[in-house]
Amino acid sequence: MKATDIIIALRKQLENPVGRHLYGVLGSYSALSTFSRALEEARFADGTPFPMPLSVNAGIINSFSDDQFREIVTNEARLPDPTRTSVRMAFEAFLSDSIRQSPLLILNDLELLFAYNIDLSLLRVLSTDQKRIVLLLPGKRSGKRIVMYPNVEGEYQIPQGIIAEHHLWEVTE
């Protein structure tokens, strides 16, 4: 779909006052970048602009002090579980703080979540009724699956059922 068509469909979905409000836009990095620029120019019916996308990677990394970050990097190979736990907790804090500050989040740069195999169900739990989350996902559909980073060795997927089929669009370049 073209960016403008996705924005129109997204605006319509966001008008629903209740229900599950987790949305996803799939595409290549360049297509998502183009989509982000179109989203910056988009407005809601009342003239309110869409919020700027937030980088999940930056939110996680910025939650650590320099000393904490140095310690995590130093110990990561030896102690992967504590590193994963630190990343998960930083993600949970970032997401909770962000959703309290704004009823609509647009999130990009989710690579750390996949690299550390962080459970994405918190996104689904927090995106209800007056809280809405839009994910900009570098990936594509493959049958009923959402395959992330299709040109990267290994396979990363969005778990089925996290994002409803009618809340998911694939942007074309």
Which segment of 12-26, 65-79, 86-100, 121-135 scores lowest on mean pLDDT?
Answer: 65-79
- Looking at residue 167, its pLDDT comes to 94
Look at residue 60 and tell me if it is in a domain.
no
**Distance (Å, whole) CA 23 – CA 157:** 15
- The answer to whether residue 78 scores a pLDDT higher than 90 is no
109/153 Cα distance (integer angstroms): 18
Residue 73 banded pLDDT, cuts 50, 70, 90:
confident
DSSP 148-170: ESTTSSS-EEEPTTSS-GGGEEE
- The first and second tokens of residue 108, run together, are 């990009």
Where are the extended beta strands (E) located within the chain?
A: 22-27, 54-55, 104-108, 132-142, 145-148, 156-158, 168-170
**pLDDT given at position 102:** 93
Kindly state whether residue 46 falls inside one of the protein's structural domains: yes
- Domain membership flag for residue 163: yes
Mean predicted lDDT score pLDDT of the chain: 91
Q: What is the pLDDT of residues 115-169, one digit of tens each?
A: 899 999 999 999 988 899 999 999 998 888 888 887 777 778 888 888 998 999 9
Confidence (pLDDT) at 130 = 87
Establish if 138 belongs to a structural domain. yes
Q: Which domain holds residue 160?
A: 3-53+104-170
Structure confidence at residue 45 (pLDDT): 87
Residue 19, domain member (yes or no): yes
Q: Is the pLDDT of residue 97 over 80?
A: yes
Over pLDDT 70: what percentage of the chain?
99
**Amino acid 41: pLDDT:** 93
Give the number of domains in the chain: 1
Residues in CB range of 155: below 8 A, 6 or more apart: 147
Tell whether 75 is covered by a domain: no
pTM for this entry: 0.92
Instruction: Look at residue 90 and tell me if it is in a domain.
Output: no
In a domain, 7, yes or no: yes
Quickly state the pLDDT bin for 172 (edges 50, 70, 90).
confident
